[in-house]
Amino acid sequence: MFTLFKKIEVDDTTTEVDEDGEIILKDGFYRERQLHGQYINGKDIFRMEYNPNVISKELVYFIESGLTKELFPVRHMSRMDIALDVFGRDLTYLVLDRPRVKSCRFMSPTGALENTYYGMRKSNVFIRIYNKGTERRQKFLNGKAYEDFSDDIYPLARKHWWRIEMQVRTRGINECFTHFEEMLEQMRFLIDENLENKDIDTIMNVFAVRDNPWLLGRMTKQRRYKYRKLLKEEFSDDPLKDKAKKLLHEETALFDYYFDLYPKTD
């Protein structure tokens, strides 16, 4: 097993505080994982993990044209992560309507939502919606992460940065586009702005369940059906969904390149 890190140095060690009083620590240097490899099942299979979006073009070329093509003539893709980053918008009350799929919510010590999981980690499709800004700030304080945003993105990222991440495995990879679009259609935006013009019964129902999703399990089958129908009709429209679909299809050529480099599972 090996892991390749990149060390990013900072001239001075300083501590800063942002406009909200949160500490931004620059601790001399940061490290960012570039490539991870390990043998599994003895020494019959070698697994590589890397993100071509965050490492240098030179390293990507070395991995894909050197290591991959020269050393591993027989290869396939065992997992693909598709991530959608949303800057400047709070997605605390974005939920997915995925019936018969287990979901888990994880809160911070202050009571703020940090993670929502849909499915099991080892299943063909696993979805995670989480506060990426909080996660990266925690790593930032420990010298394990580094951010280099453009000037137009930086203030938005400092305010809110959420990530919607879908992990697809084995045969799920063959239908990754379908799975991602299905997830988009299942989005329900239970945000305060969408409640302003609703009747009081709708507002009370949404308030109760969005903060206490376990209440769904206490509902009768008929009432749960009516609640899900309400969310679909009243809280599913949002520009984010169309923008995400557009972005996904704009990257078709990139997906085709990696499907050719690492053939999908039959």
Sign of CA dihedral 211, 213, 214, 215: positive
Does the pTM surpass 0.85? The reply is no
Report the pLDDT value the prediction gives residue 133, as an integer from 0 to 100.
83
Report the pLDDT value the prediction gives residue 40, as an integer from 0 to 100.
79
Q: Is 30 exposed, middle or buried (0-12, 13-18, 19+ CB in 10 A)?
A: buried
With a cut of 70, list the residues of the chain below it in pLDDT.
Answer: 5-32, 42-43, 139-149, 264-266
Residue 50, number of CB atoms within 10 A of its CB: 18
Measured between alpha carbons, how far is 122 from 240 in angstroms, rounded to an integer? 28
Report the pLDDT value the prediction gives residue 24, as an integer from 0 to 100.
52
Report the pLDDT value the prediction gives residue 10, as an integer from 0 to 100.
55
